[in-house]
Structures are given as structure tokens and as C-alpha cells.
Structure 1
Amino acid sequence: MSLLDIFLGTLDVSLPVFAMVFIGIGLKRLGWIDQTFVNTASRLVFRGTLPTMIFLSLLNADLANTFNPLLLGFFTLATLISFAASWGWAILRVKRPLRGVYIQGAFRGNCGIVGLALAAGMYGDAGISTGSLLLGVVILSYNVLSVIALAAYQPRGEGSTVDWRSIIRHILHNPLIISVVAATPLAMLGVQLPDWANTTGDYFASLTLPLALICIGATLSTRALRKGYRTAISASLAKMVVIPLGTTALAWWAGFEGRELGVLFLFFASPTAAAAFVMAKAMGSDETLTANIIAMTTLIASITVTVGVFILRVSGVI
């Protein structure tokens, strides 16, 4: 596959996503949707359609033939390092009320949609198999760590401490985590849903991406972007440049190469997940800043991913 093919394939994934954000902006300005719609749709995505999509994707994944403990272990370790580094930088450079949103925006990638699609475009079915292997770790680690970061910086009275019981309760009751816990043993046992149930679930799950992106666009505020542009830019650069560079270099040093290294790069180089907006809103954090980070990272993803793949291919490591 030529560099032009990779670039066009990346655009095929990134541009439709970003276009949906602008559709949300247009619908809000035309008055076709309002804040009540955004609130309702966000709850539907977080509690219903997104968990359904995750459940079905794991249930249909070939976990038995793609299981690689070294790859899973490295991805988990790299995610924890990225999360810790984002938190450390937030303490030094980000105002306290925005730290949770910054941390989530800086480390949480859209692996389940953009990352998997890019892996399929580069490696076909082999890329899908390798990417599907990582999805369970992606969903569990990203959601647990996001809940911890957002809960740690929820508005609290002066002098109060972090309510770790509340954090644990958020984790245990998180619909996305519940869907992973429910689907994984069924997938390992090879359980399959009836065709009618699978089709119905696909219909319901297909609402996830358009609804989430429309809500992002409807919440996006140019005034807020001007006000908090430094935080949004900082989180976007961390997500699209610093973390992909660091984690890919670490993966190469650890001995990964070829398809596995390529998929790791694509996952870590994916723009901030749309689910970050839904979770930020559900937990009372700054959803406008989250939407701005998602929009920025989605906008520049086609450039950074293409440049990254070009460098890795020229270097002969993928």
C-alpha cells in the first residue's frame, strides 16, 4: 500500500467523523436540536448504545486465536505510563477544575472505531484480529482510568478529600465496563447470539457514533475554545504527538515489530474518543472542553497518523 493510499484511507476514516461534528454544530444553530436533546442523547449513548456496541464487538471477536499476553501486557503498561504522565503534567500546568478533562483527553484514544478501522485498512483481517485482541484491555483500562481522573477532580468543597468509595462505585456501575465483563467470558466460550438478536443489537449499536458526534458538535463552542484554547491545544498535542511517539518508541525497544508494532502505533495515535465526551458529561465535568479536544485531535489525526506510518515504514520496522 502506497503512502497516498494510506493517506486517503486515513481521510476516509477521519473526515466523516469530523464532518459529523460540524453537522451537530449546524443542527444546533438551525434550532433543530437543543440542549435537552443533547442531554437525552448523551445518556442514551452512555447507558445503552455504546455498551451494546462494545458487547457485540467482543462477543464476535476471535479471542481464542488472537490471544497474545505479551501484547496485552505491553499495551496495559504503556497506557498506565501515558495516564501517569498526563496526570503529572496536568498537576504542573493545568488549572485544577480542568485536570480530569485534560487527563482523559490526553491519554484516551478512539481505538474501538478509528484505531480498528485504520488497522483494517493497513493489514486487512490480520489487523482486525490484532486490534480486536486489544479492545477488551482498551475499554477496561480507558474507562477505569477515566473514571478515576474525572472523579478525582469533580467539584468538591474546599479542604475535602477524594471520595474513593464514590470512584469505586462509578467503576463498578459503569455501563461500558459492565459490557466488557459480561461479554468476555461469553466470547471465550464461543457463545453466539441468535441472528435476530445480533441484527437487532447491530441496529441499536449503530446509533452510537452519529449520536455521540452530533452531541459533540452541538456542545462545541467557539467562545469556549477561545477561552480555553491553551488547555485544549496542550491536551491535543499530548494525545496526537507526544504519547504516540513515546509509546511506539518504547514498543520498538521492547521488541515489537511488523503488524503488532503498526497496530500499537495506530491505537495510540487515534484521536480522543467520542466516548470521552459522553463520560465527561455523565460525571459533571467540562464537556465543552472535552468536545474541543475531540474536535482538535480528530482534525489533525489524518496528518499525524500518515506522517507516523511513513516514518515507521521508511525505518523498516513495520
Structure 2
Amino acid sequence: MSAAIIFAITIVLPNLVLMGLGFFMQRRGEISQAFIDQASKMVFNYALPCLLFFSVANSSVDYSQQIVLIGAGLLVTLLLFGGAEVYARCFIEQPEDQGVFVQGIFRSNMAILGLATVANAYGEVGLSVGAVYMGIITIVFNVLAVITLSRVTTGITTLRGRVLMIGKKIIANPLIIALVSAFVYKALGLPTLQGVILQTGNLLAAIALPLALICAGATIDIKSMLSPSGLSMQASIGRIIIAPLLAVAVGWGFGLTGVHMGVLFLMVASPTAAASYVMAKAMDGNEVLAANILAFTTVVSLFGMAIGAAILRGAGWM
């Protein structure tokens, strides 16, 4: 059991340290909001897509072996979305709160914290498997987020308008573009990228996760995090407790073990995605509620991931 605890600490502690560094630098005035905004855009538009592209394009992962994992991830996502939608419609009155609540439960931070933790746990193999998983689930996340938030979006009143909006967001998403490009590259059987292209790509990809974690830490608002509203606490319980338990149950039902169970658990157990706040604000959702959910789950979920990883590791499931 001690080995399992050490394993859990090893995969989670680096993320906490980098987030703590970002928080410390922000408190000392060494990181400005302008830097956070610009660095986040750089990570989202260039560094992270580069990391995902090279992780998939140069991987030796057999994609046919990821079908069960992806199926389990899709089922977990749809169950969380459906359950949160039912709860929101029954117990939450304001439309601008409903979509934010739902998104806070089903949409995890796979691209930053999930992928970073998987990389810490399993190295290049885990990163490749995680990138393939994220490529499919990210598309689903974006579609479901637009659906649940569009109930309060002004100016979009027709089904055609909503479909076009979803299509534009998917087509313009840098992460999806990078992953689809990598899948096409692999499907065409092109040679493995080497030389200057590979070295340049690796240098750019190397800054993605550390910089993203530092920026995430710099945006944490302790006051907001420690005094959440009732709705933010309810959503946080769904993300921190219900989502990981559901992932383990579905993974067990699908017969997942080892890296696949680890990827499913760590991706689902990650805190609410940072993009949820941006999307809620852009689509007229309750941005304060979105920020509270994001802040609280960002810190608390990491401890839940460590505890869950220790238990699963001790049981020999991941």
C-alpha cells in the first residue's frame, strides 16, 4: 500500500507544486493578468496542439485497442451530462445557472491537469493513450457544452443557428484541429517525423503543461474557493465525488485495467475544465458560479485524484 501512496503522490504533487508556484508568483505581483491571458492563449493555440499532435503522430499505440476505453469514456460523459441535466431542471430555477451547473459536472480538465497527471503516471505511453482518448471526448465536451449553455444564449433562436454555432466551434478548436491532423497523418502511413521538425515540435510542446499549470495556479481565488455558494458546492460534489466513482464503476464494467483504467479515472477525476468559465461567460451563463466551481474543484480534485489513484493502484486496477 505504501508503494501505491508514493505512486499517487508522485503523479499529483508536481501539478500542485506548479500551480502553487503560479499562485505564489501572482501574489508577489510577478505575474500580471495580461501575462496569464497571453500565456493561456499561447498554450491553447500553439503549445498544447503541438504536444497533442506529436504525441499521436509519433506514437506506436494501436488505436483499435482504445475502442473500449473510448466507449467507456463516452458512456461516463453522457451519464454525467444526462444526470446533471435532470437534476438542474428539477432543482435549479434560473436558466443561466442550469447550463453552468451541468457543464461544471460533466466537463473535466483533460487537456491540462488530466493529461499532465497521466503523463506523470505512465510517461509517453500514457500520454499517447490519453491524447487519443482526449481527441474524441473533447469533441463531445464541446458539443454538449454548447447544447446546455445555449438555453440562455441571445441571438440564436433557431435549430439551424445552434447547429452552425456548434460546427464553427468544433472546426475552429485548435486542439481538435491538431488531433484530427495527427489521426490523418497516421492513417496515411506517412513516415515518423524526425530532425528539425521533431526537435522544434518537442521544444514547443515541452512548455505546454508546465505553463498551463502555472497560469491555472495564478488564477485561483482563495476567497471565492473557500466560500462557495450552494450551487457551486453541489456541482463540485458531482465533479469531485460522483464523477470519479462513476468512472471506476463503468471502467470495471468494461473490463478496463492498467493504463486504460488509469487514463479513464485520471481524465474523469480531473477538476472542472478552465474552458468552462470562458464558455459560460461567452454564452451568457452565470460566470460567478462558473468561477466558483472552477476554483474549488481545481484544488480539491487533485487530492481526490491522489487518494483514488492510491486505492486503485493498491488494488492492482491501474
User: How does the TM-score come out when normalised to structure 1?
Assistant: 0.78
* 1:69 match: 67
- Work out the CA distance in 2 between the residues paired with 1:137 and 1:244: 19
2:36·2:215 contact (CA, 8 Å) conserved in 1?
A: yes
State the secondary structure of the residue aligned to 1:193. Answer: coil
Q: Secondary structure at the match of 1:63?
A: coil
- How far apart are 1:242 and its partner, in Å? 0.3
Please show how residues 1-318 of structure 1 align to structure 2 within 5 Å.
Answer: 2-23=3-24, 25-26=26-27, 30=29, 33-34=32-33, 36-64=34-62, 67-94=65-92, 95-123=94-122, 127-128=126-127, 130-150=129-149, 152-153=150-151, 155-156=153-154, 160=157, 163-164=161-162, 165-188=164-187, 189-213=189-213, 215-216=215-216, 219-221=219-221, 225=225, 229-277=229-277, 279-280=279-280, 289-312=289-312, 317-318=317-318
Distance between the aligned counterparts of 2:273 and 2:201, measured in 1? 22
Note closer, same or farther for the CA distance 1:129–1:227 as it changes in structure 2 (3 Å cut).
Answer: closer
AA paired with 1:64?
Answer: D
CA distance in 1, matches of 2:196, 2:301: 37
- The superposition leaves residues 211-253 of structure 1 with CA deviations (integer Å, 9 ceiling, x where unpaired) of 5445545554456557753333222221121011122112213
Q: Is the CA contact 2:139–2:170 (under 8 Å) kept in the aligned structure 1?
A: no
Q: 1:208 to 1:154 in 2, by over 3 A?
A: farther
Conserved 8 A contact 1:18-1:295: no
CA 1:25/1:92 → structure 2, altered by over 3 Å: closer, same or farther? farther
Contact 2:59 2:128 survives alignment (8 Å): yes
> Identity of counterpart residues, as a percentage?
34
Gaps of 5+ in 2: none
Aligned mates of 1:98, 1:255 — CA distance in 2: 37
Cα displacement string for residues 4-28 of structure 1 (whole angstroms, at most 9, x for unaligned residues): 312321442331243145146426x
Q: Check whether the contact 1:24–1:213 (CA below 8 A) recurs between aligned residues.
A: no
Q: In the TM superposition, what whole-angstrom CA distance separates every residue of 1:268-315 from its partner, at most 9, and x where no partner exists?
A: 212233444555566675655444433322322343223323444565
Q: Is the 8 A contact 1:111 1:267 kept in 2?
A: yes
Question: Which 10-residue stretch deviates more, 164-173 or 112-121?
Answer: 112-121
Q: Which amino acid aligns with 1:303?
A: F
Q: Note closer, same or farther for the CA distance 1:147–1:171 as it changes in structure 2 (3 Å cut).
A: farther
Query: Once the 2 structures are TM-superposed, how far is the Cα of residue 61 of structure 1 from its aligned partner?
Result: 2.5
Task: Please state whether the residue corresponding to 2:80 is helix, strand or coil.
Answer: helix
Backbone CA RMSD of aligned residues: 3.6
SS at match of 1:247: helix
Quick one: which amino acid aligns to residue 65 of structure 2? F
238-247 or 307-316, larger mean C-alpha shift? 307-316
Cα 1:219–1:308 change in 2 (3 A) is closer
Amino acid in structure 2 at the alignment position of 1:61: S
Quote the offset at 1:149 in angstroms.
Answer: 3.5
**Closer, same or farther: CA 53–145 of 1 in aligned 2, 3 Å:** farther
> Distance between the aligned counterparts of 1:211 and 1:117, measured in 2?
11
Once the two structures are overlaid, the 10-residue window that deviates more, 284-293 or 73-82, is 284-293
Q: Distance in 2 between matches of 1:203 and 1:281?
A: 33
